[in-house]
Amino acid sequence: MKIDSHHHFWKYDPVEYSWMNEKMGILKQDYGPEELNKEITEVGIDGAVSVQASQSMKETDDLLFYAQNQDFIKGVVGWFPLADAMVKGELERYAENQLLKGVRHVVQDEPDDRFILGADFNRGVSLLRQFNLIYDILIYERQLSASIEFVDQHPQQIFVLDHIAKPRISDKSLEPWKTQIYKLAERENVSCKLSGIATEANWKEWNEEDILPYMEIALDAFGPSRMMFGSDWPVARLAVEYEPWVSFCRSFISTLSQDEQTLIEGEVATKVYGLS
């Protein structure tokens, strides 16, 4: 299967999705399965993984409902209150739902860059393995150092790094991201999504040369066996539409062997998330 490992759905609400600022008008509308199914069909992608965009159990339930009713949605990375003392009970309630593949928290928006090392939060993360759930790491570059410490606290947990840790592409800064991404990639329980990259450049002015160095470094660090394609649709629409991003990524990996391309386009996501 060819898999889009990272996309979002939402029913737009200005309070629930308050992170959408005045520059993000294109996002302030409903995005549902019909729109995405059209996009993936046109580019020959077979399935997708839906990822939370709001920190609410309601959205987790909505994503699971879509997945139950749309064959192309192969799995869900939802949100759970991981720092809550009662989170184990919440996870137990969903334990039989085979479409729930992972959990994510929007760490990038936490004001404390070392939030990810919090004791309560880590207690919740430590429960995920027993429920066979992945944890998706959503951070900015400035949170990479703490995230390496975080991963080291959970050596048996499977992690997926979203958006290559959001380097400062608009500033044309490679360091300290480059050094730290190689360091994180030394942890073999971490895979990486080739997603959400264009939106870290200047949305209306970026070109391929702006983002290629970051893609090349991430691919070199993790290798094809731990890299998966993702669109970050519809957030990516701030900088690039669906088909052009797919085409660019396919061109980027075109010099790899066919087996390596197949890994990135779907086999890694299928294995890591246990898709079927």
How far is the C-alpha of 116 from the C-alpha of 104, rounded, in Å? Answer: 12
Number of domains comprising the chain? 1
- Report yes or no on 189 lying in a domain: yes
What is the CATH classification number for the domain harbouring 176? 3.20.20.140
Q: Does some domain include residue 11? A: yes
CA distance 33 to 45: 14
| Residue ranges in the chain modelled with pLDDT below 50 | none
Residue 276, domain member (yes or no): no
Contact yes or no for 232/195 (Cβ under 8 A): yes
Give the residue numbers spanning the domain of 261. 3-270
Q: Residue 191 domain-assigned?
A: yes
Position 275 in a domain: no
**Assigned domain for 90 exists:** yes
Q: Which two tokens stand for residue 147?
A: 């995230």
Question: What are the tens digits of pLDDT across the range 192-224?
Answer: 999 999 999 999 999 999 999 999 999 999 999
Nearest one of 187, 188, 136, 203 to 163, comparing CA atoms: 136
Q: How far apart are the first and last CA of the chain?
A: 9
C-beta of residue 229 within 8 angstroms of C-beta of residue 194: yes
What does 195-212 look like in DSSP terms, one character per residue?
Answer: -S-GGGS-TTT--HHHHH
Answer yes or no: is 236 within a domain: yes
> What pTM was computed for the model?
0.96
Quick check: is 112 in a domain?
yes
Separation of alpha carbons 79 and 94, rounded Å: 12
Place of tokens 């993702």: 230
CB atoms within 10 A of CB 203: 15
CA distance 127 to 40: 34
Instruction: Tell me the C-alpha distance between 58 and 212, whole Å.
Output: 37
Instruction: Decide: 156 and 206 in contact? Cβ < 8 Å.
Output: no
Query: Could you give the residue ranges of the DSSP H alpha helices within the chain?
Result: 33-42, 57-69, 87-93, 119-125, 144-152, 177-185, 208-222, 242-252, 258-262, 268-273
Q: Which of 235, 237, 242, 232 is nearest to 19 (CA)?
A: 235
Residue 141 in tokens: 């570059």
E strand map for 97-137: 100-105, 134-137
Query: Under DSSP, is residue 51 helix (H, G, I), strand (E, B) or coil?
Result: strand
